[in-house]
Amino acid sequence: MRTPRTVVRYTLLVVLGLVFVSPLVFMLVTSFKTRGDASGFPPSWIPNPFSTQAYESILTAPGTPVLRWFANSLVAALANAALVVSTAALAAYALARMHFRGRNVVFGLIIATLFVPPVILVIPNYLIVGELSWLNTLAAVIIPTAASAFGVFFLRQFFLAIPEELEEAARLDGASPLQIFVRVVLPLSRPALATLALLALLANWNDFLWPVYVLFSPEMQTLPAGLSTLQSANAVRYDLLMAGAVIASVPVLVLFVFLQRFIIEGVSRSGLKG
Amino acid sequence: MRTTPVVAPGDAVSTADSVDRGPRTPRRGVAKHGKVTPWLFLAPYLLLFGGFVILPVVLGGWISLHRWDYTLPGKPFVGLENYQALLDPGSTIYETFWSSMQATGIFTVASVPLLLVLPLVVALVMNQRFPGRNLFRAVYFAPYVLGVAVVAVVWRYLLDANIGLINYYAGLLGLPDDTAWTTSTPAAWVALVGVTVWWTLGYNSVIYLAALQDIPRELYEAARVDGASAWQQFVNVTLPGLRPVLAFVTMITIIASANMFGQSYLITQGGPGRETRTAIYQIAETGLRNFQMGSAAAMSYVLTLFLMVLSVGIFWLFRERKG
């Protein structure tokens, strides 16, 4: 009775797959419709006529500088990911391999914040960022979210699994702790570093509440905050909104298609030892 | 994975040293690093951690004890007044705050069970070898990488009462074709929960799937030898094996649901009225739009307290049971 079971399984999987894919296809289709076509009824799956009007108009509209948002998002996500990975890796290495008073306290404190709901940080961090004159600058979306407790936890686990003999050998050859870290540990940890970088990149690219409130002028916004601006400026111009949504999705979808193994593995490993 | 050659040998003295000791017997007593070295490694992280995690947690408490208006010069100390206002039915803030807490409660209660069960079903189906498995897994996970803004803007369109795809297909199936998904309750709740399930189902599935694959095959074989049915295997092998991960997923799902913001902000704008304006939405608006930061900080402490109590409850529920 193998075949009928297989047919049932694939039917279910494909139907479920359509539920996940079709909204994204419809987003793409609509972004190539004209204004009238996008708000026509019944909704159609083929643009008629095919048009790039929506892209042209959002890319040139003065109040909604989509290209600028794109650049802001890119700079913020890359800088944030670099900061997350470098600070977490250094800290995780000290916590994994070095012996010092207070190590358990520091590690315990970091882990405890994994369970602190982020809502408690919003108001005070706004004041801190204001005090530093970072409001309405990219620093506000790059730096405050860079202390990743998950990153420290995740990399520490990985470093602990590296055979200590390799570091020992380098140490006996006269390498300093920093040299050992940079030349021995980091090269061996590329998959873990890549996974953490990708997760940080995605989280920053997609972050919504914080940028909406700390980046208030149109030219300073990131894509998600910008989409919200775009929506309030063009309530039912779905052609424009879908074009904006496509521009915001393409980079992450491309990243996902090529690097999904790292992303999915990073997420799935977050549950183990949870 | 490519391995990189280990560091070049150091100066003659230390090389001679290492020969003396023998490479295989590292002496435990010998200091491997200076006393400050670990702190230098930790410094960049701790700077960020202290400044944007520890300090704000403390500062939030301090702010909540003041009438702290960002736009005014004076920030008088008012003691527990902000908290009292939240508990006083006669105050202006009482109604707005508790209706937002209620919105968060409704959303959490409605979404969490679905977000725990549906991904588990999907993970169980995926937990077998068949061609194309990784492709399906990636497809189900894809919405998650898009982020809430894209997801919400797209679904705002699909849920449009007049020209949206959802009402159009509902009509074709003989269902009501004029549901106001974004401007009436309970339809708005169905929409917000549905969109959230669509967005994050793959995330929880992936975590479950990894945990399922960690359950030793022999346990299932032993159960089968004992004549256990598929359901008995699920109850006696799968569920106990998943317990730690179930606790973890329950926890992160509740916290995520209790922090729901983008869906409501972009799909319903908190409406109709303020019915779908969640607590975090209300906190952000109170503190960062109206700049009543003292009051908003008090609200976030109250919400955090609720979440902490809930977390303790979940830990207790999933605790290791003896016998």
**pLDDT given at position B7:** 35
Mean model confidence pLDDT for chain A: 92
Q: What is the pLDDT along chain B (323 residues), one digit of tens a residue?
A: 333 333 333 333 333 344 444 444 444 434 478 889 999 999 999 999 999 999 999 999 999 999 998 788 888 999 999 999 999 999 989 999 999 999 999 999 999 999 999 999 999 988 888 888 889 999 999 999 999 999 999 999 999 999 999 999 999 999 999 999 999 989 999 999 999 999 999 999 999 999 999 899 999 999 999 999 999 999 999 999 999 899 889 988 998 999 999 999 999 999 899 999 999 999 999 999 999 999 999 999 999 999 999 988 888 888 876 54
Q: How big is the A-B interface in CB pairs under 8 Å?
A: 335
**pLDDT given at position A61:** 87
**pLDDT given at position B28:** 47
Name the minimum distance, in Å, from the CA of B223 to any CA of chain A: 22
Residue B88 in any domain: the answer is no
Of the listed ranges A104-118, A201-215, B99-113, the one predicted with least confidence: A104-118
Residue B36 in any domain: the answer is no
Contact between residue B286 and residue B100 where contact means Cβ atoms under 8 Å apart: no
- Residues of chain A within CATH 1.10.3720.10 domain(s) are 62-232
Q: Which chain B residues have a beta carbon less than 8 Å from that of A212?
A: 265
Determine what percent of chain A is predicted with pLDDT higher than 90: 78
Handedness of CA A86, A92, A97, A102 (dihedral sign): positive
What is the number of alpha carbons within 13 Å of residue B220 lying toward its C-beta? Answer: 12
One DSSP character per residue, A119-161 reads HHHHHHHHHHHHHTT-TTSTHHHHSTT---HHHHHHHHHHHHT
Q: Which chain A residues have a beta carbon less than 8 Å from that of B22?
A: none
Cα angle: A189, vertex A194, A196; to 5 degrees? 100
CA–CA dist A132, A259 (Å, integer)? 36
**pLDDT given at position A272:** 54
- The answer on pLDDT for A225 being more than 90 is yes
Q: Decide if the complex's ipTM is over 0.90.
A: yes
Range of the domain at B205: 93-317
Which residues 6+ apart lie within 8 Å of A192 measured at CB? A154, A155, A158
Q: Which chain A residues have a beta carbon less than 8 Å from that of B142?
A: 20-21, 24, 253, 256
Q: Which chain B residues have a beta carbon less than 8 Å from that of A149?
A: 49, 53
Do B150 and A268 count as a contact with CB atoms less than 8 A apart? no
Of the listed ranges A1-5, A173-177, B101-105, B175-179, the one predicted with least confidence: A1-5
One DSSP character per residue, B292-310 reads BHHHHHHHHHHHHHHHHHH
Question: Mutation test of the interface with chain A: which of B72, B150, B295, choosing the one with the most A Cβ atoms within 10 A?
Answer: B150
| Confidence (pTM) | 0.89
Q: Topology of domain A62-232, per CATH?
A: MetI-like fold (1.10.3720)
**pLDDT given at position B54:** 96
Q: Which chain A residues have a beta carbon less than 8 Å from that of B280?
A: 119, 122, 209
Nearest residue of B to residue A180, measured between CA atoms = B7
Nearest residue of B to residue A85, measured between CA atoms = B45
Residue B208 in any domain: the answer is yes
Which residues 6+ apart lie within 8 Å of B188 measured at CB? B181, B182, B267, B268, B271, B272, B275, B276
Which residues 6+ apart lie within 8 Å of A65 measured at CB? A218, A219, A226
Do A272 and B307 count as a contact with CB atoms less than 8 A apart? no
Which residues 6+ apart lie within 8 Å of B127 measured at CB? B209, B212, B213
Contact between residue A103 and residue B38 where contact means Cβ atoms under 8 Å apart: yes
Residue B83 in any domain: the answer is no
Domain count, chain B: 1
Q: CATH no. for residue B235?
A: 1.10.3720.10
Q: Encode pLDDT of A18-66 as tens digits.
A: 999 999 999 999 999 999 999 888 999 999 899 999 999 999 988 889 9
A253 lies within 8 A of chain B by CB: yes
CA–CA dist B263, B256 (Å, integer)? 12
Quickly state the pLDDT bin for A8 (edges 50, 70, 90).
confident
> Encoding tokens for residue B282?
């209300």
